[in-house]
């Protein structure tokens, strides 16, 4: 029996993971669950269904409500950011699925790595923020970082059985998002509803907006750099609207290995849970004769500046990716709350990157401090814009 702690249980990745646990009851079990706590009824249902040993909710009041709803004996209940860290570190589990969204995942993910637990990593923002520290911690504890992100799962699968030194480059595919064919002039009119309509994947709101700006692909370049230890220029983004080829690896002899499949996160999640083995799933099957045509094109750097910003942050290194990520999280939240326009997301990030002087990233404590500073600064400047006192 593989015992799993699931960080971000109520989200898109979390619920898909739980469906898979239900499909393999002899093999997979839930040890711990964590979420923000915005939907206590859902967490209570998950507790009844999966009987975890412990549950952590960020929201303390939500945890009190959960305590009142759940019949005894009930799981151990942990509150707040410290509760999430304690859950990741202390609950006895072989695998921790890191599927919180954003920087909130940083400390629990690091805690799980330091506790020596195999990581199934969906929470790409944490690798963007602290890739050097996380991969170093994983190396020193002998912990595997198994990618859940579909592109990185694809790359991981394309690397199996090959010599890493023979990798020429990684071809990171992306659908291009809902605005792939929109002319530049229409970008100022983009609404939240337009941006939430992803052409091929159903995901949480933050990553869906990131997919519309292409910042998701930018974050994934940084994620690939750390997961696969490649140089930034070895990662090339290829727009592939059908989302069938999930990524490719090109070797020094010119051979290109690709991983294909239907757009269903169940496939990469299950691979991370059962790695190095595979299991049969009832997931939809790929029928290439029905799809007929697969197309590929370069991304447009003018309409999608996020890619350039992510590359610049990666190349600068140190704290720059922390700044990129924090500013992006705040800008995306402001866009979702209709406080700024779609175009202003990238502007907000660029200003934040310009403002913070370059510095090395030496510790998780420093990462947390820089992240908090940037959030305060960017929050203030977004506030000022909203009230019309912007510079």
Binding region for Mg ion (CB under 5 A):
149-151
Nearer to Mg ion, 5 or 173 (CB): 173
Nearer to ligand NAD, 124 or 217 (CB): 124
Q: Are 178 and 198 in contact (CB under 8 A)?
A: yes
Q: Are 137 and 91 in contact (CB under 8 A)?
A: no
Q: Which two tokens stand for residue 386?
A: 């909203």
Can you tell me which residue has the tokens 């990798």? 167
Rounded distance between C-alpha atoms, residue 5 and residue 71, angstroms: 21
Residue nearest to ligand NAD (CB): 11
Q: End-to-end CA distance of the chain, in Å? A: 58
The binder of 122, among Mg ion, ligand NAD, none, by C-beta within 5 to 8 A per type, is ligand NAD
Q: Which residues contact 353 (CB under 8 A, 6 or more apart)?
A: 309, 312, 313, 320, 323, 324, 327
Q: What minimum distance in Å lies between the beta carbon of 91 and Mg ion?
A: 27
List the one residue out of 10, 5, 4 whose CA is nearest residue 85: 5
Nearest residue to 372 via CA among 323, 334, 316: 323
Interacting residues of 347 by C-beta distance below 8 A, sequence separation 6+ = none
Report in angstroms how near the CB of residue 388 gets to ligand NAD at its nearest.
Answer: 30
Q: Which is nearer to ligand NAD, 9 or 346 (CB)?
A: 9
Q: Shortest approach of ligand NAD to residue 223 CB, angstroms?
A: 9
The least CB distance from residue 380 to Mg ion, in Å, is 31
Shortest separation between residue 188's beta carbon and ligand NAD, angstroms: 26
314 binding partner (options ligand NAD, Mg ion, none; Cβ < 5 to 8 Å by kind):
none
339 binds, among ligand NAD, Mg ion, none (CB under 5 to 8 A by kind): none
Q: Give the integer Cα–Cα distance in Å for 230 and 20.
A: 32
Select from ligand NAD, Mg ion, none the partner in contact with residue 151, using the beta carbon and a kind-dependent cut-off of 5 to 8 Å.
Answer: Mg ion
Residue 204 or 379 with smaller CB distance to ligand NAD: 204
DSSP assignment of 331-362: HHHHHHTTSS-THHHHHHHHHHHHHSPP----
202 vs 231, beta carbon nearer ligand NAD: 202
The CA distance from 28 to 274, in Å, is 9
Distance between CA 67 and CA 82 in Å, rounded?
18
Residues in contact with ligand NAD by CB under 6 A are 8-14, 35-36, 58, 84, 99-101, 104, 122-125, 149, 201, 203-204, 206-207, 265
Report in angstroms how near the CB of residue 102 gets to ligand NAD at its nearest: 6
Which of 36/74 has CB closer to ligand NAD? 36
- Min dist. Cβ of residue 308 to ligand NAD (A): 20
Q: How many CB atoms lie within 10 A of CB 182?
A: 14
Looking at the Cβ atoms of 8 and 37, the one nearer to Mg ion is 8
128 vs 143 by CB, closer to ligand NAD: 128
Work out how close the CB of 157 gets to ligand NAD at its nearest, in angstroms, rounded to a whole number: 15
Between 99 and 309, name the residue whose CB sits nearer to ligand NAD. Answer: 99
Distance (Å, whole) CA 84 – CA 81: 5
Q: Which residue has the tokens 């990666």?
A: 314
Say which entry of Mg ion, ligand NAD, none residue 117 contacts (CB below 5 to 8 A, set by partner kind).
none
Task: List the single partner that 100 binds among ligand NAD, Mg ion, none, CB under 5 to 8 Å by kind.
Answer: ligand NAD
Closest approach of Cβ 369 to Mg ion, in Å? 29
3-state SS assignment for residue 374: helix
Q: Is 276 helix (H, G, I), strand (E, B) or coil?
A: coil
Residue 79 to residue 77: CA distance in whole angstroms: 7
């Amino acid at each position: 029996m593989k015992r799993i702690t699931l960080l971000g249980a109520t989200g898109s990745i979390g619920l898909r993971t739980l469906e898979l646990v239900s499909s393999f009851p002899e093999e997979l079990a839930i040890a711990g669950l964590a979420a923000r706590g915005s939907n206590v009824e859902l967490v209570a249902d998950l507790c009844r269904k999966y009987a975890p040993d412990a549950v952590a909710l960020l929201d303390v009041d939500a945890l009190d409500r959960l305590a009142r709803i759940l019949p005894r004996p009930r799981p151990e209940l942990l509150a707040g950011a410290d509760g999430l860290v304690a859950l990741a570190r202390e609950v006895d589990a072989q695998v921790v699925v890191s599927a919180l969204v954003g920087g909130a995942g940083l400390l629990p993910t690091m805690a799980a790595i330091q506790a020596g637990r195999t990581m199934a990593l969906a929470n790409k923002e944490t690798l963007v923020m602290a890739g050097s520290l996380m991969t170093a911690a994983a190396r020193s504890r002998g912990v595997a970082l198994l990618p859940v992100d579909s592109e990185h799962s694809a790359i991981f699968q394309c690397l199996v059985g090959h010599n890493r030194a023979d990798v020429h480059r990684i071809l990171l595919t992306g659908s291009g998002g809902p605005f792939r064919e929109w002319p530049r002039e229409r970008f100022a009119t983009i609404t939240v509803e337009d941006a939430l309509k992803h052409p091929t994947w159903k995901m949480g709101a933050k990553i869906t907006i990131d997919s519309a700006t292409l910042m998701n692909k930018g974050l994934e370049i940084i994620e690939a750099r750390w997961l696969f230890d490649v140089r930034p220029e070895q990662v090339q983004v290829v727009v592939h609207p059908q989302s069938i080829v999930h990524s490719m690896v090109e070797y020094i002899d010119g051979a290109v290995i690709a991983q294909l499949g239907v757009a269903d996160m169940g496939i990469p999640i299950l691979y991370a849970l059962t790695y190095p083995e595979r299991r049969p799933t009832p997931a939809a099957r790929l029928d290439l004769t029905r799809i007929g045509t697969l197309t590929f094109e370069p991304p447009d750097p003018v309409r999608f500046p996020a890619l350039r910003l992510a590359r610049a942050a990666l190349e600068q290194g140190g704290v720059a990716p922390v700044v990129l990520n924090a500013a992006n999280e705040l800008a995306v939240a402001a866009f979702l709350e209709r406080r700024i326009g779609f175009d202003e997301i990238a502007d907000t990030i660029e200003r934040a990157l310009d403002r913070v002087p370059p510095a090395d990233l030496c510790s998780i404590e420093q990462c947390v401090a820089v992240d908090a500073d940037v959030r305060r600064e960017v929050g203030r400047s977004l506030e000022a814009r909203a009230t019309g006192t912007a510079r």
